[in-house]
Amino acid sequence: MPASAPNPAGPFRTLTLERRDDGGVVISFFVPDHAQNVLTAEAVTELSRALDSVDAGPPPAAIVLQSTREGSFFAGADIARLERLHGMPPEEIERLCAAGRAVFSRLSAQPWPSVAIIDGICLGGGLELALACDLRVATDSPQTALGCPEVKLGLLPAWGGTVRLARLIGPAAAVELTAAGENIDGATAARLGLVDACVPADQADVSACRLAEIAAAQQSHIERRRQMAGPVTLVAEERDFLESMSAAVILGRSGGHYPAPLAILETILACCDTAADEAGTIEAAAFARLAKSDVSRQLIRVFRLGERNRRDKGLDGDKGLDDGSPVDGSPHADRAVLSDPALRNRPAVIGAGIMGAGIAASHLRAGFVVTLIDVQADTLAASVAGILDEAAWDRGTKRTDPARAIALSGRLHTATRMAAIAECDLVIESVLERADVKRQVLVEIERMVGPATVIATNTSTNPIAKLAEPLQDPTRFCGIHFFNPVRRMTLVEVIRGPATSDETVATAVAHVKRLGKCPIVVRDSPGFLVNRVLMPYLHESVEMLREGIEAKRIDRIARGFGMPMGPLELYDMIGLDTAFYAGLVLSAAYGDRIEASPLIPALVKSGRLGRKTGAGFYQYGTDGQYPKNGQRARIDRPDDAVIKLIRPYALPSRETTDATICDRLLLPMLLESLRVLDEGIVRDGRDIDLAVIHALGFPAFRGGLLAWGNSLGAAEVIRRLAPLADLGIRMHPTPRLLAMAAAGEPFTA
């Protein structure tokens, strides 16, 4: 369509309205004061006013909705509006849903067709807006992503999304898209029938106009509207299969802790049985129930913590301003940080072991050219294929993309000599977890690189201050602690040593964000943050095992609380030898409450190192081998070999309930987090909550460790600790906890 002057129907702040020479109307969105387009109250109101203007003028040939913000059609609803829902009565929430549906429904209420051009992020309410149009054109841009992430906030689409999706792509596909909350690209959306075409961005406007012309000529949009308005035909067998299979999958994913996925399934099935107008009220009622739940409140808080982290440059007093970010949780780092000229573009990784290879692959996935150094040529050569496989992993297909692996191979430079890093501007050392070896390598790195190069160590236990001692310039040295497996673990600890400069910290934080990770800045101390908070959880499980409590019971109770695996399962996954050495460091620092258990070295000495040897606290696979398909073949009876190893170290048994076991596992973690705050290891308690969710899998529906403490209250925590006091100082309230109880203060904001 040839462009003409904007219609003077405004003034509008969030959109422009153009009447083109061929009779088409284009509504273009650019929502100010936000990093991406979000559906603010103002944007929705102005859309309604723009449609008033269209209805009042000459009948258009078609309406086209598009965005003039690069990479963003609409990224969802305004998160601040969602936060306010928790305090509203359900009927008010349902009224707001009805009002939003009414505005969107106007896009397909007049004789002319409407088309949405989706170029960039189109999530949540943004996708619902596009679904309200008669036709949709997506671009094949890598930035284009469509999805319903509301489930990640404990919610479901509330402006007709579940109703329209089931009618457009079928109930089964609608359940999968909304209950999983994952994004799809334009090509996948076209295959599903979610969009009518997927084209290059420079052809989107022409394609939209052509589709509108065809629809207008054939009146096909009118027939589609008729189909979208009616119920969905589901034969009984199809419905029963969808209901039972989807429910089983959902419960398997959520463990029954998250109500939204099941509510989505139930709502879509209920909405299939009735006309779209009535289905909208069913959807709104389900949304209102979820919006009032504590799970949704906590998940929205966790989302806010993530947004806060994305704006954080890692320095005190520099958290950025709340920009009303959208609900999708998309990994867009702070643009001010990403435009910083001090960012490093020539990274290197030293060490091609498991962690070094994972770090190198993470850099390749993020688009870097990375140099990988290992003095062992065989180790280096053997790592390359795995690095490329990891870097080219496709989340959608759950397998490596061979073509992408080949394309990335040219971006991975390998060498056995340290001279290859001479031009690198950020070097991450990831060699053996031995201080003497690391110090030697760090000195050699410093000798090879320029004076502005940032040097980092990937370590889980070694104090940064000790590693920095032989360096000439420790101000440019810090820890960047990745967790294993690197691809799946989003948390990274950026560890500030006593001499580390602000510039080094800010550079490390910005670099980690460019990898799509979540950096938490912590002060140098034994165990840093995550391992220090984790160790009481692991330690207490072994103590209970020595008291005669079954391993399976301990792990079952931990999973019932919402942890992804129990502490003894986690021991086996980490490796008991690795845990042993980490335990020595933490025991030396905090031995009054975390004593090194004699059982762990006994298991290590017997050769039971966990999954990697086929046996630890549990037995795995056959012939001592862990199954390659990743399925844990755990025995169903107590392992006699472990029982024999425990016997010399047995403790007196105590009568205990499941609730007491849960308290013993988790309350020491809560107490340790308060000590972390007392010592200033983190700058804000909210960093602890974000860290334990991302690194330990602490249940997000509980909001994090300190948020869980808030749900109990300090006085209740003290009450629960009282009967455990004879276990020692690890169960004694800290001074901070006592003061909080006296003052009625929360654990965290």
pLDDT at residue number 633 = 52
Q: Determine contact, residues 671/711, Cβ cutoff 8 Å.
A: no
Angstrom CA distances, 574 to 432, 492, 549, 579, 715, stand at: 16, 17, 22, 7, 35
Q: Which residues pair with 456 in a beta bridge?
A: 428, 478
pTM of the model: 0.90
Neighbouring CB atoms inside 10 A of 482's CB total 23
All domains in the chain, ordered by first residue: 15-291 (3.90.226.10), 335-524 (3.40.50.720), 531-681+713-743 (1.10.1040.50)
Rounded alpha-carbon distances, angstroms, from residue 46 to 7, 12, 481, 492: 14, 7, 47, 42
**In the beta sheet, which residues pair with residue 279?**
none
pLDDT tens across 197-221, in order? 999 999 999 999 999 999 999 999 9
Res 316: pLDDT? 83
Which DSSP state fits 195?
S
The torsion defined by the Cα of 368, 371, 377 and 380, in degrees rounded to 10, comes to -30
Pairing of strands 393-394, 399-400: antiparallel
Q: Dihedral of CA 179/184/188/190: which sign?
A: positive
Pick out the chain residues at pLDDT < 70.
Answer: 1-10, 318-342, 622-638
Tell me the pLDDT tens digit for each residue of 333-364. Answer: 333 333 454 689 999 999 999 999 999 999 99
Tokens at residue 435, please?
């201080």
Which of 133, 135, 179, 188 has the alpha carbon at shortest distance from 157?
179
Q: What is the pLDDT of residue 10?
A: 56
Our answer to whether residue 511 is catalytic in this structure is no
- The first and second tokens of residue 614, run together, are 């086929």
The one catalytic residue among 34, 221, 481, 511: 481
| H or E element in which residue 508 lies | helix 502-514
In three-state secondary structure terms, 75 is: coil
CA gap 329, 711 in Å, rounded: 24
CA 251, distance to chain mean position in Å, is: 20
Bridge partner list, 77: 39
**Cα distance between residue 428 and residue 440, in whole Å:** 14
Which H/E stretch holds residue 222? Answer: helix 220-229
Amino acid 702: pLDDT: 97
